[in-house]
Structure 1
């Protein structure tokens, strides 16, 4: 089986890496905070002390990092140690410009796949993610298939681009649900009635995500994704949504906590 180096063991990365380990892949892991690698090391993975040490013998490198700056730093550290014909799968949400930057750092002898995911922590360890794969994914189809349903999006960068579009819609929808319920509160409507009516309408998915339990998409990550989106095109409505999340005051909490702040107006 392909030897995998997994870099980034946060709330999403750790369960994804654990799933690949459970499938029998030889796995080396690295995380900036080394203690986060300890549980996987106890289960049979090898823990590296640097990105270069992690990727040195890898057939496949997977990155699941917080943003473009973290990805660039890890790539700069790891690239000199890569073997020719290595596949690098970036599953972070970083936008197409960062994917282009990563390709330049890795060079032509490395096959880059941008494969960000839809789905939260509740799906990361069960193979239930939706993977938006841009670029030449044929050589890593089995690895990606272990993690979820693979949607081929086209040439390199298109997976990252589609992820921005979908995240903007999802995060924006949650904020709209919060403000709609704030309006319902102001009008004196019963909460169960208002929430149920919204759940039966076009915002059904956003209503479900606004009150989701067992999922985690940090508000700070939502801010990062919306900033990437609004920096790409003129998006006045999403710019307003971005400011709502920025002022929610709960950067480490799930976006449902930010929605609660938006609903009550306590973030204003």
Structure 2
């Protein structure tokens, strides 16, 4: 069993790390807020005080971090301590530029796979994520398979790129559903009738996500992802969506809360 260092134990990272620990992988974890590592330590994971300490003996390093800046900071600390031949899997949503920067930091001493995920906390806990893997993933196929279904996307950076495309569509769709229901309210339509009609149409998945319960994708992360997307190409519609999420005023709440504010017009 490959020794794994898992860096980043947020809402997604913690259940993913727990899956790997439960499968029998020797696991060392690190998190900027050390208290978040305590539950995994109680289940048998080793806890490192620094990123360098976490990766020193690892065969595989997995990063699940909040954004490009966090990834760069962790890489600066961890890369000097890597063993030659280590596999580094970045599962964060950071965009292809950050992946290229990480590849430059790693050089030829490690194999990089960019493997962001589709799915929320519920799927992270059950191993039901969709994993978008760019680069040479054969050496870590078994590890990735414990976390979900792997879709190969092409050369390094393509997993990160496709994740931006899919997130932009999903998050944008939720905002469009919210505004469509705002229009339905203004026209005096029954809420149940309007929601059912939208759910039966092409935006059905976005309708379900706009009212989902028991999952959590922070509005602040949606803002980060949309900013990465709109910084790559001119996307006027998504720029407007980005502004809606920014002004919703609920950065730590699920995007369904932002959708509710967009619908009611009660944005900051």
Q: Which residue of 2 aligns with 1:47?
A: 47
Q: Deviations over 1:64-122 (max 9, x none)?
A: 00000000000000000000000000000000000000001111110000000000011
Q: Which residue of 2 aligns with 1:196?
A: 196
Q: Which residue of 1 aligns with 2:135?
A: 135
Gaps of 5+ in 2: none
Q: Which residue of 1 aligns with 2:3?
A: 3
CA drift of 1:145 comes to 0.1
Number of equivalent positions: 268
Q: Which residue of 1 aligns with 2:36?
A: 36
Q: Which residue of 2 aligns with 1:224?
A: 224
Q: Does the alignment pair 1:261 with 2:261?
A: yes
DSSP 3-state at the match of 2:126: coil
DSSP 3-state at the match of 1:5: strand
DSSP 3-state at the match of 1:241: helix
User: What is the alpha-carbon distance in structure 2 between the residues aligned to residue 216 and residue 70 of structure 1?
Assistant: 20
Q: Which residue of 2 aligns with 1:89?
A: 89
User: What is the alpha-carbon distance in structure 2 between the residues aligned to residue 43 and residue 106 of structure 1?
Assistant: 31
CA drift of 1:197 comes to 0.3
CA drift of 1:207 comes to 0.2
Q: Which residue of 2 aligns with 1:162?
A: 162
Q: Which residue of 2 aligns with 1:112?
A: 112
CA drift of 1:7 comes to 0.1
User: What is the alpha-carbon distance in structure 2 between the residues aligned to residue 203 and residue 78 of structure 1?
Assistant: 42
Q: Deviations over 1:156-203 (max 9, x none)?
A: 000000000000000000000000000000001000000000000000
Q: Which residue of 1 aligns with 2:22?
A: 22
User: What is the alpha-carbon distance in structure 2 between the residues aligned to residue 125 and residue 178 of structure 1?
Assistant: 28
DSSP 3-state at the match of 1:222: helix
CA drift of 1:125 comes to 1.1
User: What is the alpha-carbon distance in structure 2 between the residues aligned to residue 59 and residue 198 of structure 1?
Assistant: 48
User: What is the alpha-carbon distance in structure 2 between the residues aligned to residue 213 and residue 128 of structure 1?
Assistant: 17
User: What is the alpha-carbon distance in structure 2 between the residues aligned to residue 213 and residue 59 of structure 1?
Assistant: 37
User: What is the alpha-carbon distance in structure 1 between the residues aligned to residue 233 and residue 267 of structure 2?
Assistant: 26
Q: Which residue of 2 aligns with 1:73?
A: 73
User: What is the alpha-carbon distance in structure 1 between the residues aligned to residue 88 and residue 213 of structure 2?
Assistant: 32
Gaps of 5+ in 1: none
Question: TM-score w.r.t. structure 2 length?
Answer: 1.00
Q: Deviations over 1:34-63 (max 9, x none)?
A: 000011000000000000000000000000
CA drift of 1:261 comes to 0.3
